[in-house]
Amino acid sequence: MDDGSDLTRRSGHRQQLTTAGTSSTGTSSAETSSGGDPADATIPRRTLWSYAAGSVGTGGFGTLPGLVLAYYLTDTLSVAAGAAAVIVVAPKIIDLVVNPVVGARSDAHARATGSRRGYMIAGALMMLPLFILTFATPTSLPVPAAAVWVLIFFTLTAIAYAFFQAPYVALPADLTTDYHERTRLLSVRIAVLALAILVVGAGAPAIRDAAGGGAGGYLLMAIAAAILICAGMLVASRCAPSRGARTQTHDRVGADGGAVLREGITAFREISDFRILLAVFVLQALASAVMLGGAQYVATYVLDDTSALTPMFAALVAPAILVMPLWYRFARRHGKVVGLFAASATFTVAAASLVVAVWAPGPWMFASVAVAGVGYAGMQAFPLAMLPDPIPGDAQQSGIDRSGAISGVWTAGETVGLALGPGVFLLVLAACGFVSSSGDHTATQSSTAITGIAVGFSLIPALLVAASMLVLRRYRDTTVRHDSTKQTL
């Protein structure tokens, strides 16, 4: 039963992806005319690496604000922890509406022009100045005005990011319908993502510190990071199918913003695997964002060494580069769902062990963070590799190409989870009596505040990932199981 239905789904979806001439995936018209199916062909290396380059942008923007924006607000601009929580969360709440609309609009644009490339390029170019302006708050502004400045420009930056991210997440379904080729595509992307997160997350604060910290250090950091983020996004836009590549499309999604938003919500309601997977990913994104948001505070107030942020961040992210191929092999043998369970359990145990820092902080914490990083790698890779799986079946059943709307809802959930993480951590700080500082003076914290920092960095992420594992138990993988011995990478 499943084999036959999957074959029907693939046949219908392949018609969308037929290319004319030479597409950006590297498939020629000669190959198509000779009977080759670009949807099933092995993805060319050029396409793999072009697509993966987008992770330089997504990794940079997804990591750096979560890592330093809260600390920038509380310890450079003297914004109270509670108000800072609102500033880092509010722009992402707006994304709940913006991302699905942008995703569905990218579907409409792809149907009209045959490409998502225009949206991706627009998002990249808008990101460049807006990201810099977020960290360019004039030092002469009073604290309330400085807070509003950051809120405005961070909101605009998040909207610009949606223009790139929503079509970018939809691309795997455009590039291939093969189950394992999608895993391969996403595995390369996540490997680059891990490297980008490591470089940006460790390098950007180092640039800030080398420039003397304070407002000037943050501005120089933002300029360097924005250039790198924009470059990665522009490279990734090259792998999007070119104009005219998609010769057949499904019925048009509604034209107005409310209709396209409803289309994404409808997809969320109707596709149970997508709904469960998104809930798991949001909880895990929230957990990792809480940990990232607390890293600078742990370095400064628990380890009493502001420079400890760089090795701590490296300990969390560097293992992903080493273990990603192992997670990929694990998934080929045991499946993506089992892999996600294993990665989540690894992260949960390692994060929970860090609560000991309340009584005995020390270098041992880097080892626990590194083990959490092993789990974090799988938690990043498996949900993204599983996301494209239900899209062809949904297109066949509904008669509508909702990949962009689906990716928009996914991106909205991801970005909200990433934004809520620092917000949750800041609320913990506010509840524990944390005192904000100016760029020239670091306030002394009470023992209650330091305990809150340690607990927020350890137990909260562990509990969130444990909750995601309970949700994941409801997931039913309906994709056809392939004989891994017959697949080639």
CA distance 136 to 163: 23
The answer, yes or no, to whether residue 265 has pLDDT greater than 80, is no
- At 161, the amino acid letter reads Y
Q: At what angle do helices 143-175 and 214-237 cross, to 10 degrees?
A: 20
Q: Give the pLDDT score at 364.
A: 94
Given a contact cutoff of 8 angstroms between Cβ atoms, the answer to whether 299 and 309 are in contact is yes
Spatial contact of 22 and 156, defined as CB atoms under 8 Å apart = no
| pLDDT tens-digit map of 350-394 | 999 999 998 999 999 999 999 999 998 889 888 877 877 666 666
Compute the distance between CA of residue 306 and CA of residue 297 in angstroms, rounded to an integer: 8
Whole-prediction pTM? 0.72
**Predicted local distance difference test score (pLDDT) of residue 192:** 84
- Is residue 402 within 8 Å of residue 321, measured between CB atoms? no
Residue located via tokens 């895990």: 284
C-alpha to C-alpha distance for 2 and 123, rounded to whole angstroms:
39
DSSP state of 355: G
Residue bearing tokens 């707006």: 94
Answer yes or no: are the C-beta atoms of 60 and 222 closer than 8 Å.
Answer: no
Tell me the CATH class for 44-241+256-479: mainly alpha
Q: Is the dihedral of CA 124, 126, 127, 128 positive or negative?
A: positive
Residue 41, pLDDT score: 65
- At 177, give phi and psi (nearest 5°): -105, 0
DSSP string across 296-345 = HHIIIIISS-GGGHHHHHHHHHHHHHHHHHHHHHHHHHH-HHHHHHHHHH
The domain ranges of the chain are 44-241+256-479
Q: pLDDT-based confidence at 246, cuts 50/70/90? A: very low
pLDDT at 33: 33
| Beta partners for residue 405, in sequence order | none
Q: Is the dihedral of CA 104, 108, 109, 113 positive or negative?
A: positive
pLDDT of residue 393: 61
pLDDT at residue 153 is higher than 60: yes
CB atoms under 10 Å from CB of 424, counted, come to: 23
Indicate the average pLDDT of the chain.
Answer: 79
pLDDT for residue 176 is more than 80: no
User: Given this model, what pLDDT does residue 32 score?
Assistant: 34
pLDDT in tens, 22-75: 333 333 333 333 333 444 567 777 888 888 899 899 889 988 888 899 999 998
Q: Tell me if 52 sits within 8 A of 191, measured CB to CB.
A: yes
Q: Under a CB-based contact definition with an 8 Å cutoff, are residues 298 and 454 in contact? A: yes
Alpha-carbon torsion 457, 458, 459, 464, what sign? Answer: positive
3-state secondary structure of 317: helix
> Which tokens hold the place of 44?
């060319």
Strand partners, 400: 251
